[in-house]
Amino acid sequence: MSDFDYDLFVIGGGSGGVRAARVAAGEAGAKVALAEADRYGGTCVIRGCVPKKLMVFASEYAHMPDAARAYGWDIPDGSFDWQAFCGHLNTELDRLEGIYRNLLSGSGVETFDTRARIKDAHTVELASGETKTAKHILVATGGHPVRPDMPGAELGIVSDDIFHLPELPKSILIVGGGYIACEFACILHGLGVEVTQYYRGAQILRGFDDEARGLIADAMRERGIDLHTGTNIVEMRAATDEDMVAGDVTLATAPVEARQIGAKDSAQGKPGSGPVWTKATNGKTRVFDMVLFATGRKPNTADMGLEEIGVKLGRHGQIAVDEYSQTGVPSVYAIGDVTDRVNLTPVAIREGMAFVETVFKANPTPVDHDLIPSAVFTQPEYGSVGLTEEQARDLEEVEIYCTSFRPMHTAFAGKPDRVLMKLIVSKASRKVLGCHIVAPGAGEMIQLAGVAIKMGATKEDFDRTVAVHPTMSEEIVTMRNPIRTA
């Protein structure tokens, strides 16, 4: 008989934690428990990837009637019903959470709907005060969005709040230039919100390919998003009635009566409850119905008991782990966003699987973080895998194959939309080191391109592949001559 209550106790019911728990129990025969303080499915299913992608779908319909008319359809413009969408969305999220719960129970995992923290290397303490012991503890608590440290920041909302708004604002300021900020700028603009975006850097989407970043920024502005780079917010407070009529502000578009009611609520410090007066680094002052901070995320490690038992935390609160996701305390492991390695749901799931292989199947499996495809669901989408041009040219001499053009679908409708197809190729080995696609459906395309690049395909392998015509993606295999060497 084991000296512990469980072979494994998982803290966190997101995608990574649930996968590790059910595979350890269902395939490796381990006795497993899992504690989740909120909803099962975690950030991705409940307040991230899934609801966000459904919002992306919803926002894209705004442009369809106009495009359809160019193709001969007599379709009038419609209107968007936020309440109807949210009702359907919540039903879907409930369904998905139910699937997660059923997967755990079907695998024999015992679940606790409560917060848990670590008491010692083999003991977990539940919020009720009850303790459970386990041979291994896996921390998969994910992360959370943060507000900047500035007066009035409590008046703004964060990405988690978007899915719980009782109604859409008429105008919004989005602060940030990462993928979350840019995705929500495109989503909310598509749903009819007047969107302004401030980013303190020189260009949005830092860390991605410069050429792709530029095209996306141009497309966002072309669509009507008021995007300001090199700009940040320096002051904010609840808007007063005087702000509503002052000559040095741009009024939000909501009716004055509604804004005044909101201002009184906002003065009480409720995020998103009323108009907000803001001042930017360029000196411009404006009133917005809402401010969204998309300025970063932090791991959920506060008050977890980690440092008390000797688990090392990084500068941002992330759990330090080795290539097998093991902390400095041998019985404690961590996966997913709480480790701040590659913060993507499929990566957390892979890390969970590698953990089970290592600990419960006697098959030491390091986590492979190389050549991970990813997608940014802006409009147009951006799919990437491998190195950017800027990263590659710092390592070796490379050839750049790139084309940008108006795709058939939107060109026929008279739209200015452009797409980008780009390959970064090693001049010495001829391997494709990176692929970048900015186009509708780029996320779908990059998944398939990622297989070839992960296998080590060369430019000549791409060249030998017959094009599928007429498609946008055929350009990936028809670019014969490099446009530059870097």
- How is residue 471 annotated by DSSP? -
Q: Contact 205/382 with Cβ under 8 angstroms?
A: yes
Which class for 325: exposed (0-12), middle (13-18), buried (19 or more C-beta within 10 A)?
A: buried
- Strand ranges (DSSP E) for 28-122? 32-35, 110-112, 116-120
Handedness of CA 134, 365, 24, 353 (dihedral sign): positive
From CA 201, how far away is CA 229, in angstroms rounded? 6
From CA 279, how far away is CA 136, in angstroms rounded? 50
Q: Which of 49, 482, 446 is nearest to 212 (CA)?
A: 446
47: Cα separation from own chain's centroid:
10
Q: How many helices (H) and strands (E) does the chain have?
A: 15, 23
Element (H, E) at 242: helix 241-245
Q: How far is CA 242 from CA 207, 234, 262, in A?
A: 42, 20, 14
Q: Which of 189, 228, 369, 469 is catalytic?
A: 469
Q: Which pair of tokens denotes residue 116?
A: 């848990």
Helix (H), strand (E), coil (C) string for 103-126: HHHHCCCEEECCCEEEEECCEEEE
From CA 230, how far away is CA 194, in angstroms rounded? 20
- How is residue 326 annotated by DSSP? B
Q: Which pair of tokens denotes residue 469?
A: 């015509």
Q: Contact 441/381 with Cβ under 8 angstroms?
A: yes
From CA 284, how far away is CA 373, in angstroms rounded? 39
CA dihedral 146, 206, 44, 152 (to 10 degrees): 20
Active site residue 469: yes
From CA 462, how far away is CA 480, in angstroms rounded? 10
Q: How far is CA 153 from CA 95, 139, 184, in A?
A: 34, 30, 19
Q: Which sequence positions are flagged as catalytic?
A: 469
